[in-house]
Structure 1
């Protein structure tokens, strides 16, 4: 005998009643329309104010490439001047050191009369600058008379006038003998002038002995020209337009040169 087994606990499955085809289609269409409207409202939120949007949305950090493309700010005037001065200080060449020894080329001439030592010494200095006035012309510029030429202020004025410059200034040693400071200044000014191509005109008085042991005496005063130096300025070369030995040139230590100028002056 056969039979179909049914579980005592089997659940009853309820099925919805079937609707007519036309009604079902209408229901489906209505549901689809309501879903589209809901989806549209969810995807289009209301736009926030512009200020709020800028506050909410953070800016992206620029990349290295973007930063490289951006123009840099122009330097200020003070920065430009500072940079220019720094570059100038870096690129400017240092002034060359004066040589240890230097003699200027010059044209020597004896003084034409006993009171023309000022014009003769000044003219010798001018020939080192390729200027060749006569001694009489220079005497007029100096205001020289039979009493001679007054002071180194006159030779300074004439030298600047002939050279068309203000290179020369007058310097004086006031004491009976030169101090260490006087000697150091004379040395520095002689080296500077000669290395720049300018001879020095000195007004001296009294007597001295040159490096060769020869004496030179001018008790009433005299003008002569320093046309060179050696030993870094410790020795000077002199062109003397009234040298009693008839040579006209000798060397002298800077200390003796300074003492010879004492109570007088020089144009350098």
Structure 2
């Protein structure tokens, strides 16, 4: 194929002139240019292969580390339900005493509970630990503190029933606490106020508040046996439904 528009002789002359100019250039300059070109190519290749350390750090930080489960102990098994594992009925061993005056119901009840744990003290000694005065003993928290101080460990805890009436959950909690404590040989001390009817139909009234000791249960804790140091309402012990007892404790608390 022919190209009539091309001036072939002219193109040939330009190519020859370029060849001669290249031949006159110094050899070291050519070598330096080639070396620089090679270095640039090599550097580009290296940067492509291995990025800047700072960039690598940022990239690593952007990728979350694989999650590893922290070694830990297995979860504790749930505590056995005392209503299912404890005896259907049970009473603790204890030493009964009436209170000697109108304000020693707290010391008398606390002392009876301590005897169920094998500790024998006078009501006067217990009163000094409770901080009892002629106005009585302040709260169930004082009973818990005094008994744990005597026993040397946190055996008892204070449980409150706020409000004027117990809820079903609070009554059930009392039932479980009574069964758990007494099946372990420990009596429970309750701070009550107002009135309640026992299982025999006798109404017990303490409008200013009172302390009693729970020393037994039956029907898996649906009824509790009361040791009352006041001696004001018939026998020194009587039975009461746990529901009535929870309502009697309402607005106060108990140590179990």
TM-score category (smaller protein): 0.5 to 0.7
Measure the CA separation in 1 of the matches of 2:178 and 2:254: 10
Query: 1:216·1:243 contact (CA, 8 Å) conserved in 2?
Result: no
The superposition leaves residues 43-91 of structure 1 with CA deviations (integer Å, 9 ceiling, x where unpaired) of xxxxxxxxxxxxxxxxxxxxxxxxxxxxxxxxxxxxxx99xx8xxx9xx
Q: Please say if 1:266 is aligned against 2:250.
A: no
Could you tell me which of 131, 136, 155 is aligned with 1:148? 136
Give the Cα separation in 1 of the matches to 2:222 and 2:87. 13
Alignment partner of 1:185 is 2:173: yes
State the Cα distance separating 1:105 from its structure 2 match. Answer: 1.0
CA distance in 1, matches of 2:199, 2:129: 34
Work out whether residues 93 and 185 of structure 2, in 8 Å CA contact, stay in contact via their aligned partners in 1: no
What residue is the counterpart of 2:225 in the other structure?
A: 237
Shift of 1:168: 0.7
CA separation in 1, counterparts of 2:252 and 2:81? Answer: 35
Provide the C-alpha distance between the structure 1 equivalents of 2:81 and 2:123, rounded to a whole number of angstroms.
40
2:116 corresponds in structure 1 to 128
Deviations along 1:100-140, whole A, 9 cap, x unmatched?
10000111000011100000000000111111100000000
Kindly state the Cα deviation for residue 266 of structure 1 after the two structures are TM-superposed: 0.4
Counterparts of 1:6-45 in structure 2 under 5 Å? none
Of 74, 78, 89, which aligns to 1:101?
89
Q: TM-score, normalised by structure 2?
A: 0.67
* Counterpart check, 1:168 vs 2:156: yes
TM-score by length of 1: 0.64
> How many angstroms apart in 2 are the aligned matches of 1:101 and 1:179?
24
Question: Larger C-alpha radius of gyration, 1 or 2?
Answer: 1
Q: Deviation of residue 167 (structure 1)?
A: 1.4
Greater shift, 149-158 or 188-197, is seen at 188-197
For 1:152 and 1:94, the matched residues in 2 are separated by: 25
| Post-superposition offset of 1:245 | 3.1
Unaligned runs of 5+ in 1: 1-80
Residue 245 of structure 2 aligns to a residue in which SS? helix
- Cα offset, 1:246, TM superposition: 4.2
Partner of 2:85: helix, strand, or coil? coil
Cα distance, 1:94 vs structure 2:
11
2: CA distance, partners of 1:152 / 1:239: 17
Measure the CA separation in 1 of the matches of 2:244 and 2:81. 33
CA shift, 1:171, in A, is 0.8
Structure 2 unmatched ranges of 5 or more: 1-71
CA-based RMSD: 2.4
Task: Report the number of matched residues.
Answer: 183
Q: Does 1:252 align with 2:247?
A: no
Instruction: Compute the displacement of 1:200 (Å).
Output: 0.5
Structure 2: how far apart are the matches of 1:164 and 1:233? 28
Q: Which runs of 4+ in 1 moved over 6 A?
A: 93-96
